[in-house]
Structure 1
Amino acid sequence: MALVACGLNANSQITPAGPPLLCCPTPVRDKKDVCEVHIACSHILWKTNAGWQITGYRNLDYSLEEEMAQRWKISMSEMRMAAINDDGAVVLREKGQWRKLFFQRDTAMDSRNLGPSVQQVEDQDRIAESENGKMYSIGVPLPYGGSRISVVEVGKEHCMALTTDGVVLTWGSGIDSKVEEIRTNEQSGNDHKASLEGTGDCRTDPRINKGRAKDVVNVQTSPRLLDFWNEDMAIIDVKGGDRHTLYQLEDGSVWSTGMNKYGQLGLGDTAERNEPCLVPVTGVRTMFAGGWISVFIATDTSGR
């Protein structure tokens, strides 16, 4: 397996020997047997066969295996780490110490559908969870009457959901297409040419729905169907970073869209994208997005 990553590396959170921005998917040679990744802007938590390891933040690179069991469910934000421990309790790690959290339930709601969740304590303004195929945001059921929800991913300012029949829903903060148009026009001819050469012109890719209307909005407050791809393409995985999103299609290809200031889209530049572009990685088994970083676990030794 190969570990490949791109995005912000200013605190050596991805690799200690590298530039502050990794705009192309880059093999990470110093992390072995990684099977799970949790990402914040300035640090990454890696789960390996040997235990948990944190890198980047305040230039730390140390093991947490004595504090955290591998089977714990973990979620992480910039200032804290939350976990469901062996006893089923939610614990929070702040300033190097763990403390147990206690929940007060709303007796007016069905407690069977609203159990403790790591996402509930990570960041109160970005709560999203899936219970029994239903979606909740801050304890309120979200209005979606389609298929059951199989996966929910949350970013800092947006959320994504994947249904059992491959439909992707999204809500929260978005990117205004007018801003992207202005910034694109400010690029030099060479920069624009390099951008297209590095990622391929996705507008002519047969997998892209060419008839899709340009109706990007800044904030989408309720789940909304995405129709980036043609009907014969299905999405098998979706991951949300702070302001960028990764998609994996059934043909194994990986696509990215959103903010790209730190190269987190893996497209060889730092230009924002309003529609998905093909990421030059192959053989991806698992992908992770968070903060301003994207990580891929792939079968290809080069990741490209």
Structure 2
Amino acid sequence: MLLKEKVFLSNCDSVRALEPTELYKRLLLGLTMASGVVVSPNTLLDNRDVGAFLRRANVVKYLNEEGAGQLVVRGLNFTADLTLEDYFAGLPGDYIVSSMDGAPQKQQLTRVQVQHLNARLRETQNALTALQPVYHPLELHADSLQRAIHERLQDPAIVGHFFADAEQQYQFLQQTVGLISRSQWYQATQSLGDAFRSEVIDPAYHSLFVERGEGFLQDHIRHLSMIPASFLNTGLTIKSLQRELSVLQLPYKLFQLISSLGSTELLHFIADETMSYIEDKATEKGYDFATRKNWFGLYPKLRHYIGLEIKK
């Protein structure tokens, strides 16, 4: 595998409301790149098309055979005994339902909307159950998200970026004590714009689902649109997709190329279906691909180019 860790697919976050093709690309990349993928219950219940992805023939075959156990569902008190309908029923009324038009709060849904949503959740649940995922219930405190966000806001670089001075930063930290859910944080920080959501709230939220040594993918994969169309062919096996992305045969070359190439050349590599480009570049630069001596040093590069962050 390209990544020895499991990765939490935060780039499939429901708040992005991705179109089916874009959602599938991210989910498939997770399966082909890592030794396992972690998804949250929210990703499963609040993406309109995630159930269709879980029913894809190549996904079903892979996760029921050589990839058995590589799909992990991790959520607060979420166990195999709890269905997605049960989980949704237990969410607070101010939970934002991203997959509904206008992203209403749960408490604002009409009876008909709730019926449609529950029908979709049953279909997704049936597809999920057939894949026999591993369940990792989370144990979080009510203020876990608040503490994670406040920790990020202690960074001195925040001053001058989101706050005019240290006093404004201090006042903000005091005013946001008691915000528990991500929906509450979104509503309370609307005046700070989308950047605060993507740079502070979302990474803090995603980190709660990641165990030490695991990674989570932010949505900074700049060249997803350049992935060959054949990558989405449901007839291709996951193994063939891994070969197409050179994940199994040349993992070290990819790491070393990411560490040295600019984003333009990286685009050419990801878009290229053959191995000739990467082989030429490897020969040209005289790399040693036999060791992992630079493995950890490359994570900052990976985070910059493809949005990978490893939890320390």
Instruction: Tell whether the structures are fold-level matches, with TM greater than 0.5.
Output: no
Structure with bigger helix share is 2
Q: TM-score, normalised by structure 1?
A: 0.29
TM-score (norm 2): 0.28
Structure in which a larger fraction of residues adopt strand: 1
Higher RCO (C-alpha under 8 Å, 6+ residues apart): 2
